[in-house]
A = this chain, B = another copy of it.
Amino acid sequence: MTVEQQSYDRVWNFSAGPGALPQPVLEQVRDELLNWHGAGMGIMEMSHRGKEFMSVLEQTEADLRALMGIPANYKVLFLQGGATQQFAEIPLNLLAGRSADHLVTGSWSKKAYKEAQRVASQAGGSARLAGSSEAGGFVGLPAAGTLDFDPKAAYFHLCTNETIHGVEVFDDALIDAVPAGVPVVADMSSHILSRPMDVSRYGLIYAGAQKNIGPSGITLVIVRDDLLGHAPATLPTVMDYKVMADNDSMLNTPPTFAIYIAGLVFQWLKGLGGLAAMEARNAEKAGLLYDFIDASGGFYRNPVEKSARSRMNVPFVLTDAALDADFLAGAKAAGLSGLKGHKSVGGMRASLYNATPVEGVKALIDYMRDFQARRG
């Protein structure tokens, strides 16, 4: 355990979200909580329209743009409601009487598709399935050539990292196959900022904060300018991207503290070398864990096709589910938390977000090796 971890009796936190936050960020938040930069009050006690918070919001957006290389013709919005609210906001803002294609590769893209079907008629539109890997159990991604695209679709929606089944899109072929002129809309909630992304390939990127961005309560939406302004006139005002963009995310009081923490996380990322450095770190972490699982002679197994294995969420099962309870209890005693798999699939799951360094993964592997030696 690192010195930092020991000094607060902190555990290694593999929770899928809300999840671990960088310790230096938490220390700064703690130190500034009652008095931010001599203002005589904390950030969460300040008006969102005062110069202090406005400077925090500006810096936070600027740092995100720099980290991700967001082109100037994209708006950056800090919204409320979670990705689940985006499942409705996206069709309501973007359909404008047309159909939208959906790729279903896991629980989240399935929910997004269902919600689009639910609300589409309010925007005079509809939702359509372009492809699904559900029949195979969500253990991989369909080949780009097997998808059934509508060249007139208002947009094509996918989830580029599915947390429950641990499936991540790495191959550009999937995005490249989308017909020209159809904007790509991606739920990047669980892997945004884990590696560089070419934002210009997307019409809209969205992400709930509570994995790599900050605490829950903030939803990031990065949206290309030309997609704004087509929402129905009866859409709730807070759900209209154009209105929120025109008001710099401050039509009403935003979650100021969550935005502030996101800003500190972005500065921490910059200090570590940005997204390229994160990619190297995350590839190493995930590589170590998958290699260990694959070399365990079947004691641990991960079912996902190798090319689609998520670096952020590593689900695995034990050879005998009867060992699960002891595995988790032993892990907890060893200072490894949040390993229980999602209830819909059972088993185990280690989430390896940016805030967890390679030492955490090594500690997990040490425990898993030891558990296998004792119980295998």
Which of chain B's residues have a CB closer than 8 A to the CB of A82? 80, 238, 252-253
Which of chain B's residues have a CB closer than 8 A to the CB of A89? 236
Decide: B337 and A253 in contact? CB cutoff 8 A: no
Task: Give the complex CA separation of A40 and B10 in angstroms.
Answer: 4
Decide: B47 and A18 in contact? CB cutoff 8 A: yes
Per the 8 Å Cβ criterion, residues 251-294 of A in contact with B are 251-258, 261
Decide: A215 and B41 in contact? CB cutoff 8 A: no
Which of chain B's residues have a CB closer than 8 A to the CB of A338? 47, 50
Task: Give the complex CA separation of A17 and B26 in angstroms.
Answer: 24
Does A118 have its Cβ within 8 Å of any Cβ on chain B? yes
- Of A28-36, A95-103, A363-371, the stretch lying at the interface with chain B is A28-36
Within the complex, the shortest CB–CB distance from A10 to chain B, in Å, comes to 5
Within the complex, the shortest CB–CB distance from A111 to chain B, in Å, comes to 9
What bracket does the count of chain A residues touching chain B fall in?
35 or more
Task: Give the complex CA separation of A235 and B235 in angstroms.
Answer: 11
Decide: B47 and A35 in contact? CB cutoff 8 A: no
Given known A-B contacts A17-B47, A47-B16, A33 and B33 have beta carbons under 8 A apart: yes
Does A115 have its Cβ within 8 Å of any Cβ on chain B? yes
Which of chain B's residues have a CB closer than 8 A to the CB of A8? 34-35
Does A147 have its Cβ within 8 Å of any Cβ on chain B? no
Does A44 have its Cβ within 8 Å of any Cβ on chain B? yes
Decide: A9 and B38 in contact? CB cutoff 8 A: yes
Within the complex, the shortest CB–CB distance from A340 to chain B, in Å, comes to 9
Task: Give the complex CA separation of A87 and B243 in angstroms.
Answer: 15
Does A59 have its Cβ within 8 Å of any Cβ on chain B? no
Which of chain B's residues have a CB closer than 8 A to the CB of A198? none
Select A234's contact among B118, B254, B255, beta carbons within 8 Å.
B118
Which of chain B's residues have a CB closer than 8 A to the CB of A84? 237-238, 251-252
Decide: B33 and A26 in contact? CB cutoff 8 A: yes
Within the complex, the shortest CB–CB distance from A244 to chain B, in Å, comes to 11
Closest to A53 in B: B18
Within the complex, the shortest CB–CB distance from A174 to chain B, in Å, comes to 26
Does A133 have its Cβ within 8 Å of any Cβ on chain B? no
Within the complex, the shortest CB–CB distance from A336 to chain B, in Å, comes to 10
Given known A-B contacts A40-B9, A118-B234, A257 and B34 have beta carbons under 8 A apart: no
Does A68 have its Cβ within 8 Å of any Cβ on chain B? no
Task: Give the complex CA separation of A46 and B89 in angstroms.
Answer: 27
Decide: B33 and A216 in contact? CB cutoff 8 A: no
List 16 other contacts, CB 8 Å, given A8-B34, A82-B252, A215-B256: A10-B41, A11-B39, A13-B41, A19-B45, A20-B41, A30-B30, A30-B34, A41-B337, A47-B338, A81-B238, A82-B253, A83-B252, A89-B236, A122-B122, A216-B254, A217-B258
| 3 shortest interchain CB distances as A-B pairs | A217-B255, A88-B236, A11-B40
